[in-house]
């Protein structure tokens, strides 16, 4: 079992802290290789899920790739900023 603790920078607005934490955790899970082993981390909320479902023009793979890239970028941004 792995425990991932995320401390948001002070300048992150309170309403964005959950999104920030979910993004960093998702990136860490991805980098640890859990997604390749068949374990998926769902960090979407209902609004994000609704937006994704309404975008029928995109394939599921494109959405997964974009989400993975966002998580990786957020993870490295947090890592390099000292979070």
Give the tens place of pLDDT for each residue, 3-42: 677 777 778 787 788 888 888 877 777 777 655 555 555 5
Share of residues in the chain with pLDDT > 70 (%): 60
Q: Are 72 and 27 in contact (CB under 8 A)?
A: yes
Domain around 71: 15-78
Residues in the chain: 83
CA-to-CA distance for 73 and 65, rounded, in angstroms?
A: 12
Q: How many CB atoms lie within 10 A of CB 28?
A: 20
Angle 17-32/60-80 helices, nearest 10 degrees? 100
Dihedral sign for Cα 6, 79, 48, 52, please: negative
Structurally, how many domains does the chain consist of?
A: 1
Q: Is residue 6 part of a domain?
A: no
- The residue with greater pLDDT, 67 or 55, is 67
pLDDT score of 34: 59
pLDDT at 53 over 60: yes
Q: Is residue 4 part of a domain?
A: no
Segment 47-56 shows an average pLDDT of 60
In a domain, 23, yes or no: yes
């Amino acid at each position: 079992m792995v425990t991932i603790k995320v401390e948001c920078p002070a300048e992150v607005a309170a309403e964005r802290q959950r999104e920030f934490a979910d993004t960093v955790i998702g990136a860490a899970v991805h980098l640890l290789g859990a997604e390749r082993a068949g374990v998926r981390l769902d960090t979407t909320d209902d609004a994000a899920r609704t937006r994704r479902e309404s975008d029928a023009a995109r394939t599921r793979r494109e959405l997964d790739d974009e989400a993975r890239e966002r998580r990786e970028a957020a993870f490295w941004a947090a890592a390099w900023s000292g979070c």
